[in-house]
């Protein structure tokens, strides 16, 4: 009986003495930033695509700001934040996807591409500049004007998630 008690006591002592030296880092929001980073800035994303959606720049910029406000504890600054997001919309295009007989398309794809420059003034190794692309397909029999707003909203949501994962979550 004493042996069992002694083994359990030794085992518990070992477990508790080792635990403080281990460090586990987690976040409920997915944010994985240096503790030195306290602020962010999101600059306006101008639309440089050949086909221009007049509300796309504003919607993308605002959606990215809102995502950072909701999912991080960082404070927003109009400029010179510890981390900065800037870039431009470089692509906005509709393409036929599922071509059927008589060369008619049953599906059309809306694709949006943005170029993002991410600057982390506290951890310079995290800086990058890259393109993000997302798309949504829709039935070609529908007029573009009836689905464009819904598609654009869904694509912007995907793009902001991708940007967040590549920068804040470091995925």
CA 39 to CA 34: how far, in whole Å? 11
Q: Is residue 61 part of a domain?
A: yes
CA 75 to CA 122: how far, in whole Å? 15
Q: Is residue 9 part of a domain?
A: no
Q: Is residue 6 part of a domain?
A: no
Q: Is residue 147 part of a domain?
A: yes
CA 136 to CA 125: how far, in whole Å? 33
How many structural domains compose the chain?
Answer: 1
Q: Is residue 14 part of a domain?
A: no
Q: Is residue 17 part of a domain?
A: no
Q: Is residue 158 part of a domain?
A: yes
Read off the pLDDT of residues 120-155 as tens digits, 9 standing for 90 and up.
999 999 999 999 999 999 998 899 999 999 999 999
Domain CATH number, residue 35: 3.30.160.150
SS3 54: coil
Read off the pLDDT of residues 75-122 as tens digits, 9 standing for 90 and up.
999 999 999 999 999 999 999 987 777 677 789 999 999 999 999 999
Q: What is the pTM of this model?
A: 0.79
Q: Phi then psi for 46, rounded to 5 degrees? A: -70, 155
Q: Phi then psi for 92, rounded to 5 degrees? A: -150, 100
The residue range of the domain holding 34 is 29-167
The full DSSP string for 25-42 is ---SS-----TT--EEEE
Q: Phi then psi for 11, rounded to 5 degrees? A: -60, -45
């Amino acid at each position: 009986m004493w042996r069992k008690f002694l083994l359990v006591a030794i085992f518990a002592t070992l477990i508790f003495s080792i635990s403080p030296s281990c460090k586990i880092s987690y976040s409920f929001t997915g944010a994985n930033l240096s503790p030195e980073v306290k602020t962010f800035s999101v600059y306006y994303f101008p639309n440089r695509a050949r086909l221009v959606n007049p509300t796309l720049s504003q919607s993308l910029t605002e959606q990215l700001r809102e995502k950072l406000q909701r999912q991080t504890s960082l404070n927003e600054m109009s400029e010179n934040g510890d981390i900065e997001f800037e870039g431009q919309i470089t692509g906005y295009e509709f393409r036929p996807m599922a071509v059927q007989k008589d060369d008619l398309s049953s599906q059309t794809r809306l694709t949006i591409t943005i170029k993002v420059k991410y600057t982390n003034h506290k951890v310079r190794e995290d800086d990058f500049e890259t393109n993000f692309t997302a798309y949504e397909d829709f039935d070609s029999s529908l007029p573009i004007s009836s689905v464009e707003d819904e598609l654009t909203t869904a694509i912007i949501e995907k793009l902001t998630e991708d940007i967040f994962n590549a920068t804040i979550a470091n995925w």
